Amino acid sequence: MKQAIKIGLIGGVVEILLALIGMIEAFSQRYIIIDIISMGHTLIFLVALLMTSLSAKRTPHGNPLRAMINALTSGLIIGGFLAVLVVMGSLVNLRKVFINASPLLYQWLTFNQGIKAGIPLLLTGGALCGFLAGLLFLSSKLFRRVLIISLGSVVGAGVLQDLLRPTFALWGPLSVMNEWLFSANGLTLYGAIGLFVLIAALSYVWAKKGNVIRANLNGLSPSNQRVLRITTFLTLIMILLVLPQILGLFLSEVLTIVGLYVLLGLGLNIVVGFAGLLDLGYVAFFAIGAYSIAVLTSPELGFFNLSFWGALPFAIFIGVLSGFLLGIPVLKMRGDYLAIATLGFGEIIRILVLSDVLRPWLGGAQGIGKIPKAHIAGIEMATPQQIYYLILAGCLLVGFISWRLRDSRLGRAWMAVREDEDVAQAMGINLISTKLLAFATGAAFSALSGAIFASKLGSVYPHSFNVMISINIICLVIVGGMGSIPGVLVGAFALVGLPELLREFAEYRLLVYGAALVAMMLLRPEGLWPEPLQRRELHEGESSDAKPNH
């Protein structure tokens, strides 16, 4: 009970915070289901649902009645908090302190019903959330899964409407669905219900029959399996190849940004995820790659006037070299000391390119412009749709290298060094070369990303390379799952792609990052798509009392 009250209080405070910083209002202009449920409402609802299910889950001994009561209690408290906010807001002018506490906010919170009707509505809403969470907790696992997946799909379809609509529009049969599913702003009511039922049915069938299907697939003869794998692979490649044509200019632009971060993430994943070296100055190599291309190609400086492809090997080589150079002084450092030292390195590079002394060579604060585009087969890669292919090729290449490295001898050495440096050495692993190779490989990937970035933008400026980039990359690696290659992809889409799609986010980006990281650490510390090793540690340990004996 105490726990339930505590969780309710936390939930209430979170909701009020979201309301007062204006996030709910910002999202209330966008609808999941047109004119019925806005993203703001969804946000409130999701937070309440999350907290109340937490409350049900934390019930001691899993007593069903107690779990339900706890969830209801937490839900009521959350609803109560919001009600108090509305009442307070109507009595005192909170706007003096909280500029976002506008009348509009209260309207949204009370579903336009005014205060009198709004307060019981909020309380009922909170209790309803609690009830739903309790029900979910008590219901069978199958039901829970089906419900969560289908609800998630509806919310997902609403959030990603800008992405889905143009995609559907391209193909006849699907474009019919567009009409039915989407309105100008959010899903239609029928569309949402239909989608919900459809996904629920599909996931129910999959849950029931999935094993059979999987068994059938596994039962296929090896040659058939091979055919199947190759077909899947080819289909995937086909989709990746036509994607920019489907998505159009804006979404392709988003994809290229995500792609650049995937490249960066894959590089940092080697340094932090594989070798366990916390590098906070990773943006330095991105900058080095970009500036190398700029200096080598830009006619504005006129030193070399190389083409993009002529300059790229040098850019990557310079990246690798600087990876080694950074690696040498920090070889003996571990953990937090390493983090601080690398953080400094990142800043040094930024300040160097900003400096007036180096201006004739590096352009100073004005940066370097007129960087030529890359050409492939005589075609200039100028629009986002074209640059997409360049980045896709880079991602595929780097992903493949990462994957091969992970299973290689070097990959095992990285793993040993990450787990225990001293023991790794006692096993015959050369600590120095292992660490330096991690820094150098990571730097190479980052420099590649920087090179493409420079040619994409056509110019480089010092302020593009601030410490926030490093932080973003670290966040996406952590959220995706340290050491996991698909995790980098998932992390990049979640932390870079999604905020680009939901421009309302922009203002709250850092807040969302912070919240996402905290939530990840609490709920899913192994990441969204964890590497098997991490999952093993965090979940097998639960079944046994023995703790790692370090």
Partner 1 sequence: MSLLEIENVHTYYGQIHTLKGVSLTVDQGEIVTLIGANGAGKSTLLKTTSGLLRPREGSIRLEGKDLTHDPPHEIAAKGLVQVPEGRRVFGRLTVTENLEMGAFAISDQKLIKENLDRVFQLFPRLKERHKQVAGTLSGGEQQMLATGRALMANPRILLMDEPSMGLAPILVDGIFEIIRKLHTDGTTILLVEQNARMALQVAGRGYVLQSGVVVLSDSAQNLRQNEMVRNAYLGET
Q: Residue 50 is encoded by which pair of tokens?
A: 């999350």
Contact with partner 1 (CB under 8 A) among 58, 66, 144, 412: 412
* DSSP assignments along 275-311, one per residue: T----S-THHHHHHHHHHHHHHH-TTT-S----HHHH
Q: Binding of partner 1 at residue 112 (CB under 8 A)? A: no
Contact with partner 1 (CB under 8 A) among 97, 172, 422, 522: 422
For residues 124-155, b (16+ Cβ closer than 10 Å) or e, as one string? ebbbbbbbbbbebbbeeeeeeebbebbbebbb
Instruction: Give me the least distance between CB of 513 and partner 1, in Å please.
Output: 27
Instruction: Give me the least distance between CB of 106 and partner 1, in Å please.
Output: 51
Contact with partner 1 (CB under 8 A) among 205, 351, 427, 510: 427
DSSP tag of 366: G
Residues 244, 166: Cα–Cα separation, whole Å: 11
Q: Binding of partner 1 at residue 432 (CB under 8 A)? A: yes
Residue 262's closest CA among 460, 60, 487?
487
Contact string 505-534 vs partner 1 (x = CB under 8 A): ----------------------------xx
Instruction: Give me the least distance between CB of 442 and partner 1, in Å please.
Output: 22
3-state DSSP assignment of residue 376: strand
Report the residue number, 179 or 420, with the smaller CB distance to partner 1: 420
Q: Binding of partner 1 at residue 549 (CB under 8 A)? A: yes
Residues 72, 130: Cα–Cα separation, whole Å: 4
Instruction: Give me the least distance between CB of 415 and partner 1, in Å please.
Output: 8
Contact with partner 1 (CB under 8 A) among 198, 331, 426, 510: 426
DSSP tag of 291: H
Contact with partner 1 (CB under 8 A) among 127, 429, 469, 520: 429
3-state DSSP assignment of residue 368: strand
Contact with partner 1 (CB under 8 A) among 425, 467, 509, 511: 425
Near partner 1 by CB under 8 A, which window of 266-274, 359-367, 499-507, 540-548? 540-548
Near partner 1 by CB under 8 A, which window of 75-83, 155-163, 327-335, 406-414? 406-414
CB 526 within 8 A of CB 535: yes
Q: Binding of partner 1 at residue 141 (CB under 8 A)? A: no
CB 425 within 8 A of CB 239: no
Report the residue number, 223 or 544, with the smaller CB distance to partner 1: 544
Residue 386's closest CA among 367, 373, 368?
373
Q: Binding of partner 1 at residue 537 (CB under 8 A)? A: yes
Contact partners, residue 118, CB within 8 Å, separation at least 6: 83, 86, 106, 109, 110, 111
Q: Residue 284 is encoded by which pair of tokens?
A: 């330095």
Residues 430, 421: Cα–Cα separation, whole Å: 10
Near partner 1 by CB under 8 A, which window of 95-103, 217-225, 405-413, 515-523? 405-413
Q: Binding of partner 1 at residue 540 (CB under 8 A)? A: yes
Residues that bind partner 1 in the complex, under the rule CB under 8 A: 409, 412-413, 415-416, 419-420, 422-423, 425-432, 533-534, 536-537, 540-541, 544, 546-550
